[in-house]
Amino acid sequence: MSSFAQRCGIHDALREDALRQTVQLIDAAGLELVRFVWCDLHGVTRGKTLVASAAARAMREGVGMVSTLMLKDSSDRTAFKVFEPGGAAQLPGFEFASNLLLLADPSSFRRLPWTAGTGWLSAQPWFQDGRPVELDTRRVLQRALARLGESGLAMRCGLEIEFHIYRIDDTHAQLDPQQAAWPGVPPAVSMIHPGYNLLNETWYDMAEEPLRIVQHTAQALGLPLLSLEIELGPSQVEAVFEATDALAAADHMVLFRNAVKQALRRAGYHASFMCRPPFPNIMSSGWHLHQSLVDAEGRNLFRREAPGPPSNPSNAQHTLSALGEHYLAGLLEHGRAMTAFCTPTVNGFARFRPNALAPQSVLWGRDNRGAMLRVIGECGDTATRIENRIGEPAANPYLYIASQVHAGLDGISRQLAAAPATDAPYTDAALKLPSSLGEALDALHADAAMVAAFGPAFIDYFARIKRSELARFEQSDDKEEFQRREYFSRI
């Protein structure tokens, strides 16, 4: 009798070899537990922990998961009324909190460095009849990258992630059953460095203990970490990673963000990927996504050997190839629509302010950190790339990167031209980025090309869940307390 993985059409000789190798690694290491983990709409990892002896069967037959996990807003409230007639009419297969099955990728196996005897596998959801769950955000990116592949293109991405680390002073309120709430309060914390002294070596030395934990965790998991740095804000740090293919970069972001939170917490620290933690005098954190397109041989297709005509530094083709300019123009064309995927929380929009090393308008610049898009590199530079600066570190990596692919492909297919580079990124005359989550969702719905690329069903699903979050925020009496519990406690 065939296994569930075979009925799904994904189990072949290569997967069987990878599965057996993973089982051998589990046995050789004497592991006791294996986590089967899936990334939800909000970029948070969820899943089930199996005893090690059950892992082999689970990789073939799947692990059950309640389908409402895919319908949760950022507070874990279900945004669809699955138990009411017609409540899940838009989502066949999700009625009555029915079951999904998680199938793990055996080649994703890792041994967790911060907990004894535990392995980890990345999984994706399937319906019980063997159909893929197309709303899964990793599948959304896989479909986008398949579109690129049809044109003989692939994408490389580099991650530059700002976040905050705090020392936990007291967890009494967070774990006091008399104060339990939905969502609950975060721990009481203090800073690991006082901030406002960018890249200060003494501040780094002060923060070295938690940063060593970040370093060791990332490297033990095989992540391509390049550097750890002291950012400008109090208790703010940054991690930079080597460029990889786009799907690997998204997987790395999911694993890094959730792993360092767990590893740091065990050592008495609280890591927050919330854009603006709920304290006075903090600095916003961004997630800057470096991106380029390559051909089948890995050659950078944004690279230009000599300045294109007319040779004016403000023209995109002074540095970028014609394809690179079209891609850049596509990102600009859909800049407002993609914002909902790059900055998906109500908290993140306070970052878009003038003269703050964050964008405010739909503009590009040549090595300009105030612009939405920063073109980096000179003619002949194999590292020529575009940096998108509108992301927040809480973004779902699969959706963030997929939005870049779809926007850039539209620019390429229509051969769009980019306006000249800006030297005034905070001018009042420029088209502004959305100033709120609601405005960003409206801009996404109004962009026919992006709706078609993601699919109307996915856009409606995504917007329904994000508007549930937005509605609760708007109805809350204490907006700061909402964000403290919703984001600082959980993201």
- Burial class of residue 184, CB neighbours in 10 A (0-12, 13-18, 19+): middle
Q: Are residues 108 and 219 in the same domain?
A: no
CA distances, 112 to each of 48, 117, 343 (Å): 15, 8, 29
Reduced to 3 states (helix: H, G, I; strand: E, B; else coil), residue 165 is strand
Q: Are residues 52 and 75 in the same domain?
A: yes
Q: Are residues 301 and 172 in the same domain?
A: yes
Look over the chain and give the mean of its residue pLDDT values, rounded to a whole number. Answer: 95
Q: Is the pLDDT of residue 185 over 80?
A: yes
Res 343: pLDDT = 98
Q: Is the pLDDT of residue 138 over 80?
A: yes
Q: Which two tokens stand for residue 77?
A: 């409230």
Which amino acid, 39? C
Looking at the chain, the whole-number percentage of residues with pLDDT higher than 90 is: 89
Q: Report the alpha-carbon distance of residue 451 to residue 459 in Å, rounded.
A: 6
Q: Report the alpha-carbon distance of residue 359 to residue 287 in Å, rounded.
A: 12
> Per-residue confidence at 169, pLDDT binned at 50, 70, 90?
very high
Nearest C-alpha neighbor of 120 from the set 6, 256, 7: 256
Over residues 262-282, mean pLDDT: 96
Q: Which two tokens stand for residue 154?
A: 């692939």
Res 329: pLDDT = 98
Res 188: pLDDT = 94
Q: Give 347-390 pLDDT, tens digit per residue.
A: 999 999 888 889 999 999 998 999 999 999 989 999 999 999 99
Reduced to 3 states (helix: H, G, I; strand: E, B; else coil), residue 312 is coil
Q: Is the pLDDT of residue 1 over 80?
A: no
Over residues 193-204, mean pLDDT: 96
- Burial class of residue 463, CB neighbours in 10 A (0-12, 13-18, 19+): middle
80 within a domain of the structure (yes/no): yes
Q: Are residues 124 and 152 in the same domain?
A: no
CB under 8 A, 24+ apart: contacts of 369-372: 370/425, 370/426, 371/421, 371/422, 371/425, 372/332, 372/335, 372/425, 372/433
Nearest C-alpha neighbor of 465 from the set 82, 88, 71: 71
Q: Is the pLDDT of residue 310 over 80?
A: no
Q: Report the alpha-carbon distance of residue 375 to residue 367 in Å, rounded.
A: 6
Q: Which two tokens stand for residue 337?
A: 């629509």
Q: Are residues 302 and 428 in the same domain?
A: yes
Q: Give 315-344 pLDDT, tens digit per residue.
A: 999 999 999 999 999 999 999 999 999 999
Q: Give 18-66 pLDDT, tens digit per residue.
A: 999 999 999 999 999 999 999 999 999 999 999 999 999 999 999 999 9
Q: Give 220-239 pLDDT, tens digit per residue.
A: 999 999 999 999 999 999 99
Range of the domain at 258: 145-488
Q: Please name the residue that has the structure tokens 């138990």.
A: 83
Q: Where are the beta strands (DSSP E) in 299-446?
A: 364-366, 373-376, 385-391
Contacts of 143 (CB under 8 A, 6+ apart): 402
Q: Which two tokens stand for residue 96?
A: 């009555």
Side-chain-side CA neighbours of residue 376 (13 Å) = 18
- Burial class of residue 82, CB neighbours in 10 A (0-12, 13-18, 19+): middle
Q: Are residues 56 and 154 in the same domain?
A: no
Q: Are residues 153 and 122 in the same domain?
A: no
Helices (H), 302-436: 322-333, 335-342, 397-413
Q: Report the alpha-carbon distance of residue 295 to residue 349 in Å, rounded.
A: 35
Res 455: pLDDT = 98
- Please give the backbone phi and psi of residue 220, each rounded to the nearest 5 degrees, phi first: -65, -25
- In this structure, the number of other CB atoms found within 10 A of the CB of residue 57 comes to 12
Q: Are 84 and 96 in contact (CB under 8 A)?
A: no
Q: Which residue has the higher pLDDT, 281 or 311?
A: 281
Q: Give 103-119 pLDDT, tens digit per residue.
A: 999 999 999 999 999 99
Residue where one domain finishes, among candidates 82, 108, 133: 133
Reduced to 3 states (helix: H, G, I; strand: E, B; else coil), residue 351 is helix
Task: Kindly report the pTM of this predicted structure.
Answer: 0.97
Q: Is the pLDDT of residue 177 over 80?
A: yes
Q: Give 392-440 pLDDT, tens digit per residue.
A: 999 999 999 999 999 999 999 999 999 999 999 998 889 999 999 999 9
Q: Are residues 57 and 190 in the same domain?
A: no
Q: Are 76 and 41 in contact (CB under 8 A)?
A: no
Q: Are residues 271 and 250 in the same domain?
A: yes
Side-chain-side CA neighbours of residue 80 (13 Å) = 26
Q: Please name the residue that has the structure tokens 């994706």.
A: 124
Over residues 282-301, mean pLDDT: 96
Handedness of CA 224, 227, 232, 237 (dihedral sign): positive
Q: Which two tokens stand for residue 255?
A: 């694993």
Q: Is the pLDDT of residue 470 over 80?
A: yes
CATH number at residue 19: 3.10.20.70
Res 108: pLDDT = 98
Q: Is the pLDDT of residue 214 over 80?
A: yes
Q: Report the alpha-carbon distance of residue 257 to residue 400 in Å, rounded.
A: 15
Res 311: pLDDT = 72
139 within a domain of the structure (yes/no): no
Q: Give 91-105 pLDDT, tens digit per residue.
A: 988 989 999 999 999
CATH number at residue 207: 3.30.590.10
Q: Are residues 224 and 366 in the same domain?
A: yes
159 within a domain of the structure (yes/no): yes
DSSP code per residue over 304-324: -SSPPSS--TTSGGGTS-HHH
Res 357: pLDDT = 84
What's the domain count of the chain?
2
